[in-house]
A and B are shown apart, each in its own frame.
Chain A
Amino acid sequence: METFFSVTAKLAQGFGTTLSLFFLTLLFAIPLGLLFACLSRLRIRLFRFLMRAFIYIIRGTPLLLQLMIVVYLPGIVFDRPLTKWEIFHQNVPLAYFCGALFAFVINYACYFAEIFRGGIENIPKGQYEACEVLGMSKTQAFFRVILLQVIRNIVAPMSNEVVTLVKDTALARTVSVVEIYFAASEILRLQFIIWPLFYTGAFYLAFSALVTLLFGLLEKRLSRYWR
């Protein structure tokens, strides 16, 4: 029979996977989003168009569908499921995890790219020009004047997006990643105990609260300087 402690232990294990997915997504999606943002601002029309079209498609379709496509499409198209790929060394959970991570990274990179692009484009032209007439180089201007203003512009929208990511990780269960929600539903399936499912909410809540708190501190720190 499950006790509160044994359930907590099982959920904590699932939550470990949730956290890995969360942090690895941020780790890869932030730089990739920056790259996407730069590409979508390129002078070369074709690049810009392709990048913006890609971002539009990813943002306009459900993450759930993207997860299915990444994890199951290779099996259908190449007749070789993700779990049989050599790089995963027959480690099935790893294959599913990597597939899910890939979909999350692409999806979030597109959302981040739009936030970064907005953050950059919202800097008044006068800020660049003031730097220029004061004799700064482009690099100096970017790192000493522009960057902090961009960061300030993006803190609030990034905070929203990252909290959404906390909750979106639960979608990974649909492609067999044993994160916390999956772990709870296994207890339900095998032992007909339903309360662990609701108990997962506490984990999500605590984690969202932490994320919100950290972003709040950052925002406060930055707004000490200016409106």
Chain B
Amino acid sequence: MALLRVEQLTKSFGETRVLKGIDFEMESGEVLSIIGSSGSGKTTLLRCLNFLETADGGSIYVDEKPIFNAEDPSLMTPKAIRHNRINFGLVFQSFNLFPQYTVLQNLTLAAMMKAKEETSDYSKQKRAINAALDKQALKLLERIGLSEKMDAYPCELSGGQQQRVAIARALMLTPRILCFDEPTSALDPELTKEVLHVIKDLKTAGNTMIVVTHEMDFARNVSDKVIFMAKGIIEESGTPEEIFESPKSPLLKSFLKQ
């Protein structure tokens, strides 16, 4: 059974049709890389999955439960969206850490607010909840090798460190599927390595991930499945071997030659 199933997803901005019917599915624990030239709709697809954009048509299922359906308004209420979007996490190209909070606070803030909303006697349990969240955050920081930076502010970190913190921040909410939009394209090669290393570790730990990337080596070596997008459709998809060793579509061939 597929963990994520996307059917006939379409999205236009005004007259421009950016997604023209996207279909794919992925299993739990899989890593899916999305490649394609600039403007092919990769970011838009991720933003639709994360409800930052509302698709015009199609549907999205997680565990075969519909979490988005363009025809079903009951899934489109702000409450339903807030509930359903936590299936996904998103790591941005530009990190977007909260500058006024320390690394530790960046990790715990959203989870703390969620606990506050969902726990009826929050004021009584506040201490216990916060201690548990701090512990969870420290564990994640240890995993990304930034324990000693827990009290630093984002501006005191390198780009690579900031991106690793952003990854940990997304993981705090234990999303079913973690999405990355060109997580390393704002970084120089040395820092790119450390971020990709963290993503590889997450794969080993069994996380399900969708990674939009221009790092062809990463797509080839780390992912289980690769999607090549062109002009708003999935032009070709398959295993890394199929995509990189025996590409069929002329568009993909010329894309790989660049």
- B98's contact among A130, A132, A135, by CB below 8 Å, is which? A130
Kindly provide the distance from the CB of A207 to the nearest chain B CB, expressed in whole angstroms: 31
Contact A129 B92 (CB under 8 A): yes
Q: Report the separation of the CA atoms of residues A137 and B99 in the bound assembly, to the nearest whole angstrom.
A: 19
Query: Which residues of chain B have a CB within 8 Å of any CB of chain A?
Result: 50-52, 78, 82, 85-86, 88-90, 92, 94, 96-101, 109-110, 113-114, 153-155, 169-170, 173
Residues of B within 8 A of A132 (CB): 51-52, 85
CB contact list, A134-161 vs B, under 8 A: 134-137, 140, 144-145, 148-149, 152
Cβ of A78 < 8 Å from any Cβ of B? no
Contact B110 A136 (CB under 8 A): yes
**Closest A residue by C-beta to B166:** A130
Cβ of A5 < 8 Å from any Cβ of B? no
Contact A130 B85 (CB under 8 A): no
Residues of A within 8 A of B101 (CB): 225
Cβ of A62 < 8 Å from any Cβ of B? no
Residues of B within 8 A of A137 (CB): 78, 82
- B89's contact among A127, A133, A140, A152, by CB below 8 Å, is which? A133
Contact A226 B173 (CB under 8 A): no
Contact B96 A126 (CB under 8 A): yes
Query: Which residues of chain A have a CB within 8 Å of any CB of chain B?
Result: 124, 126-127, 129-137, 140, 144-145, 148-149, 152, 225-227
Kindly provide the distance from the CB of A224 to the nearest chain B CB, expressed in whole angstroms: 9
Contact B100 A133 (CB under 8 A): no
Contact A133 B85 (CB under 8 A): yes
- B52's contact among A124, A133, A136, A144, by CB below 8 Å, is which? A133
Q: Report the separation of the CA atoms of residues A226 and B156 in the bound assembly, to the nearest whole angstrom.
A: 8
Kindly provide the distance from the CB of A14 to the nearest chain B CB, expressed in whole angstroms: 42
Residues of B within 8 A of A134 (CB): 109-110, 169-170, 173
Known A144-B113, A225-B153; judge A135-B94 contact (CB<8 A): no
